[in-house]
Every structure is written in structure tokens, then in C-alpha cells.
Structure 1
Amino acid sequence: MAQRNFNDEPICVECIGDAFLREEIQETGGAAACSICGTVAPSWAARQYAARIQPLLASRFVRESQRDEMLASDLPELEAVFGEDSPHYKNFSEAYTRCNGYEISVLPLKAVFAAAKEDFEGGYVFNVDLRVSGEVFGDFVILARQALSEGHKDVAAVLASAALEDALKRFARANNLDVHEKTMHDIVNLLKSSGLVGGAQKSLLDTMPKLRNAALHAEWNKLTEPDVSSIIGFVEQFLLTKFSA
């Protein structure tokens, strides 16, 4: 006796609930006695149903390896650019834990990464970085001004000069300038040649490297209180115009 092949068993249109699939069976199926209900009606073999439905299921399902690839590539990028405490990083992590493989559960992952990409390309992340950096440098300036008012010129000079140099570097990096192993004098020239500073600020900036060098090399005799005050004033103005956007 020949072994029964269930893949070839006919299943009629009356046993199918999906309206679109029923219409397709009516148009293309051959009349046969249904293996389920016995009705003679337009039918498909079981293998035909499988061939027709499998691509639909596949289009709605993401392989586990693909999800792992997203986690391995996208999550480190979000961490590197925005940090672990950022909403983008946290939202992506949470969406991944809820992802069950179906396309509808993968969509939030794609949406989070798309939003992060838009913020990155729009410069939002760099604006946030500058604002936070400006707040930190502002604290240094406050301490420097306080030290100067109390007669501690040298302490004020070091605080103000450190804030100045780091502020210039961060501002240059935020504008895609290479400051690696560059001296402060080099950074000043980069900012000027790129048109990122101008007017009175540009003229005052020319004097800053010399004052900074004297402060950080402990050449106190080359610094006067007005010199230190000018560094503090310049940093305050630079933070106000470049770091408060």
C-alpha cells in the first residue's frame, strides 16, 4: 500500500477563512474532494498553501541573527555618541528586550535609531555637549574670578587658562577640526582660518596663548592681575557666544 503524502492532500476553499486567499483559490484551484470536510470544491494541495503563506510569514519575521546584528552594531554606536544615560540608548535597549522577532516588534528599534541618527546629523548632540561643557567651564571661571578677587592671582590664572584651552579644543572638535596634538597657538589659528571666530574676539584671541603659557608654566612674573582678568573676561564672553546655543 502506497504511503499517504499529506503535502498533496487537497484542502478546499470552504475550509479557508481568509477572504483574499479564498478568492485566489477560487480563481486558480482545481475541483477536488477536500481532505478535511469532504466537499468537492476549488482546492489547493497542502504544499500550495505552504508555498503561498511562507513568504508572507517571512516578511513579518526577523531572524534572531538579524536582531543580534542590530544589537551588536547599533547599540554601541548609540552608546559612543549619546552615552548610556541618553534617552536614545535606553529606549533602544528597552525596545530590544521586547523584540520577539516579528516585524512589528522590530519597528521600534528602527524608529529609535532613526531618531538618534536625525539628532546626530542635525548637530543636536554637539549642541548639548557644548552647553554642558559651557556649564562646567563656567564653574571654573567663577572660581577663577573669586580667587582673583581674594588676591590669589596665580591660582586664578591657572583655572582660567585651563578652562580657556579646553573650551577652545571642544569648540574646534564640535566644528570638525582636528586638534589632536595641536598646541593652543595651532588651535587658535585653526579657528581663525575657519572663520569660527571674528571681530574683537579674534583680536583678543591672539593674545591668549602667551598668557596661557605663562600661567601653566608657572611664569608668574610674566602675569599681572589685569592679564588674568583679561583671560577670565575672554573665557566668559567665549562661553556666552559659543557654548550657550
Structure 2
Amino acid sequence: MELSKTVKIEIKALIDIGDTILQKASRADSSFEGSDLAEVSSWVTRLGQLVRKLYGENSQHYTNFERAISTESFYVIHSNWYGHISQVQGIALTVKHDIDNDLIASIKGLLQAEIFANFLEIGEHLLSEGYKDAAAVTIGAVLEDGLRELCKKNNIAFTKPNGSPLTIEPLNTELAKNEVYSKLTQKQITSWAHIRNKAAHGQYNEYDKSQVEMMLLFVQGFAEQHLA
């Protein structure tokens, strides 16, 4: 996954700002005021936004960031009190390390798996409340998104020549053809795709709740095996 130049430029700028703030802090006889304090506030806000966008609010990086900025008297900064600023700069350096070593793609993959799990929970809740048709559509959408992500990971085309996205069955065919998973898995996905399509087209009497429950179990297992 190639990160945009904008992200790379932003993290470099944030590290440069952090270095400047630390240099000022190490020489400051009294606490930061005015423009110096405003610079710290802007730096913290920009870094927080970047960490959240790249890793998500449940990530270790974002947890470390929030812990650092929760330091008592965070905005009291002078030569005898700026260790907390060093902690924030350390997080910025960690982000740069991840970017320089192409680790963001792996982290994004983990986040994607978490997103799939959340939507599967929604499907499970819909089933428990008796909404089998809405559940079938939701679970089917998760499966389709999962196949698309697998295509991306394996450099397999996931759009038509005109740019429109491929649906479950063409994605399934390409993934099996490229041996990302077995022919048996391909057949299983085809059967669950039929249920998703029937639900999407209002053919609600063509399947029952137990089949949607089995569909959910399959997609949960598939996500754990291929998307975690």
C-alpha cells in the first residue's frame, strides 16, 4: 500500500516541529506562552489526527498518544518539565518508522479485519432479532468486501475494464483461479452468494434463518483465516 506523498510530508513536518519545540523547551527558563504554546497545540492536534487516521482509535499508537497528552499540566512546558513532549515526539518518530519500513499496509490489514468483525456482529445482532433478510444482505456485503480486499492483497483485478467494481462471483472466480484459496472454498462462497443475491432481490422465501446462520459462521471463519 503506497501512502500518499501528503502523509509522508506531514509526518516529516511534524517531526521537524517537534524537534523545534524540544529545543525551545530545553532552554526555556519559564513556561511557554503565546505563539510557542499555540505551536504546541497545533502540533499535538495535527499528530493526533494523523495517528487516528492511520491506525484507528483502538490502536496502541493512539492509546500511547492519548496517554501522553493526558499528562497533568501538559501545556506547562519549560526546561525542567518537558519529558511529556519527548513522549509525543517519540510517537511521531514511531509513525515515521512505520511509514519508512512499509508497515502501514500490515496495520491497515489488521484494521480492515476489525471492521469486518464489527459488521459481522451487526449481522449476528440482526439475526438474533429475527431480521434474517437484512442479516443476509449485511453478511453478504462483508463477504464481498473481504474478497475485494483479498484481490488487492494479491494484486488481482477487482474492477471491470470500465472501472465499476466486480461482484462476489467474478471476484470468487479470480481468487480461486489464482489459488488464493481452494476450489471447495470457491463452491462454498458461490452458495452463500446465492443467498445474498436472493435477499437483495426480495426473494425472501427462497432461504431460511438457519441458512443465514450457517452463512454467518462461514464468513466469520473465512475472515479469521484470510483477513486477520
TM-score normalized with structure 2 length? 0.53
Q: 1:60 aligns with which of 4, 8, 23?
A: 23
Query: 1-side partners of 2:42 and 2:54: how far apart?
Result: 19
Q: Residue 100 in 1 paired to residue 100 in 2?
A: no
Q: 1:74 aligns with which of 27, 47, 54?
A: 47
**Structure 2 unmatched runs, 5+:** 1-19, 26-34
Q: What residue is the counterpart of 1:164 in the other structure?
A: 140
Q: CA deviation at 1:215?
A: 0.9
Q: 1:209 aligns with which of 173, 190, 193?
A: 193
Q: What residue is the counterpart of 1:140 in the other structure?
A: 123
Query: 1-side partners of 2:84 and 2:219: how far apart?
Result: 49
Root-mean-square deviation (CA, aligned residues, Å) is 4.5
Query: 1-side partners of 2:78 and 2:177: how far apart?
Result: 52
Q: Secondary structure at the match of 1:60?
A: helix
The total of aligned residue pairs comes to 181
Q: CA deviation at 1:212?
A: 1.2
Q: CA deviation at 1:74?
A: 1.7
Q: Residue 90 in 1 paired to residue 66 in 2?
A: yes
Greater Cα offset, 159-168 or 89-98: 89-98
Q: What residue is the counterpart of 2:92 in the other structure?
A: 113
Q: What residue is the counterpart of 2:29 in the other structure?
A: none
**Structure 1 unmatched runs, 5+:** 1-56
Q: CA deviation at 1:199?
A: 4.2
Q: CA deviation at 1:157?
A: 4.4
Q: CA deviation at 1:90?
A: 1.0
Query: 1-side partners of 2:74 and 2:152: how far apart?
Result: 35
Which structure is larger by alpha-carbon Rg, 1 or 2?
1
Q: Secondary structure at the match of 1:97?
A: coil
Q: Secondary structure at the match of 1:218?
A: coil
Q: CA deviation at 1:123?
A: 2.6
Of all paired residues, the percent bearing the same amino acid is 9
Q: CA 1:219/1:130 → structure 2, altered by over 3 Å: closer, same or farther? A: same
Q: CA 1:101/1:81 → structure 2, altered by over 3 Å: closer, same or farther? A: farther
Query: 2-side partners of 1:198 and 1:166: how far apart?
Result: 20
Q: CA deviation at 1:137?
A: 1.0
Q: Partner letter of residue 66 of structure 2?
A: K
Higher RCO (CA < 8 A, seq sep 6+): 2
Q: CA deviation at 1:82?
A: 3.7
Q: CA deviation at 1:187?
A: 4.8
Q: CA 1:98/1:174 → structure 2, altered by over 3 Å: closer, same or farther? A: farther
Q: CA 1:183/1:210 → structure 2, altered by over 3 Å: closer, same or farther? A: farther
Structure 1 residues 17-61: Cα deviation after superposition (integer angstroms, max 9, x where no partner): xxxxxxxxxxxxxxxxxxxxxxxxxxxxxxxxxxxxxxxx99832
